[in-house]
Every structure is written in C-alpha cells, then in structure tokens.
Amino acid sequence: MKISYKFLSIILISIIIYSCNESKIIKRKEIKLEVFLNGFFESNPNWNQNDIIHKEINEKFKIEIQNQIENGILEDFPLELGEINEYEKGKYAAIFISHYIKSDSLDFNNILQNTNFDIIGLISPEKIKMIQNGKTYLVKGKFKKFLKGDFKNYVNGMVYTPSVEVSEDILSKDRKVADLGIILMEIKEIVETRKL
C-alpha cells in the first residue's frame, strides 16, 4: 500500500490544527486572602463546634483579618466599583464590592465564592477621573477602621457585608463563609483588572 505525500501532509496539518485548538487549562494563582482563609480554617478545625467556640473564633478572626488588611492582604483581590459619592465638599468616597467579581471558572467550593466584604474608599479627585462604575479594580490603601451603620456618612449606596465573622453557608454546612465587613480605607492606588 502506497501512501502519498499529499495524504501524509493532510494528516500532519490536521494534527497541528487540532493541537492548536485544544483548550489549555491554566491554573489560577491563589490570591493572598484565599491562602489566609484556607490556613485560618485549617488551623481552627473546630471553629463551629458550638456557640462558645464559634464566638471565640470570630473574635480571633476579627483581630487577625484586621492585621492582614493593614498589611495589604486585599491588594490582589479584584473589586467592582459600585458608586462614588461626594460626602463633604471636595471629599469623595467610593464603594468597592467583592460580591460581583467572581467568575464562572472559580470552583464553587472555593472559599472565595463565599468571601464577602465592601470597601468604602476615600478617594482623591484625581483618582475619580481614572475609574468607572461597574469596572473591576485592584485597590491599595491604608486601613482606617471597620464601619457599621456609619458607612452612610460616606456613601448613599448599598453595602452588603455588615459583619466581620466566619460562618457556615446556609445552603450547605460543608461550605464556609468569610465576611470581612465594611472596611474604611484611604485609597492610594487603583489599577483596572479582570474578575477572579
């Protein structure tokens, strides 16, 4: 049986085209918050054993997460710009939301799927010209404090995470939830990015 060069060329080209079109899975690099949260839950395996332990773990979590925020743990976490408000003459605050930045490619059981927080960012007039509602950003800044109802002193819009705590997902006891609350931060740097 004689095989022609034309036939071999067609097979070789088909293999090359097929291999170029084959989708490649690129592993997403873990972000700092993801590493911290996984480590926190691993080092506190009985975090939800009973109400007393759960309360103690939440007190520990609030202290540890504040320390981590002060040291830049949120700098690589993409956030969506919700609204910008002039809260005093010439002073601006923006809501950066964690809830809407999770892409469909993020594993449903990943701790980041159930990690929620809002940043109320005090922002300079110069930086306002660089950002647009609905876009996704990385923000770097100086932690000021956790807010409660006093967030209304800065913005008119909705915030979604009033507490700092760990809990179980209401739909599945196997999934953990990490709420980092409403964080007041003085924004130093903003860079547009993409969702997780």
Q: Are strands 115-123 and 176-192 parallel, antiparallel or unpaired?
A: parallel
List the chain pLDDT tens, one digit each, 196 residues. 555 656 545 655 656 665 555 444 456 678 999 999 999 999 999 999 999 999 999 999 999 999 999 999 999 999 999 999 999 999 999 999 987 556 566 676 788 888 999 999 999 999 999 999 989 999 999 999 999 888 889 998 888 888 999 998 887 777 899 999 999 999 999 999 987 7
**Distant-in-sequence, close-in-space partners of 186: CB < 8 Å, separation ≥ 6:** 121, 122, 141, 142, 144
SS3 151: helix
> What pTM did the predictor assign?
0.81
Rounded Cα gap, residues 28 and 70, in angstroms: 25
**Distant-in-sequence, close-in-space partners of 81: CB < 8 Å, separation ≥ 6:** 94, 95, 96, 97, 131, 132, 133, 134, 135, 136, 137
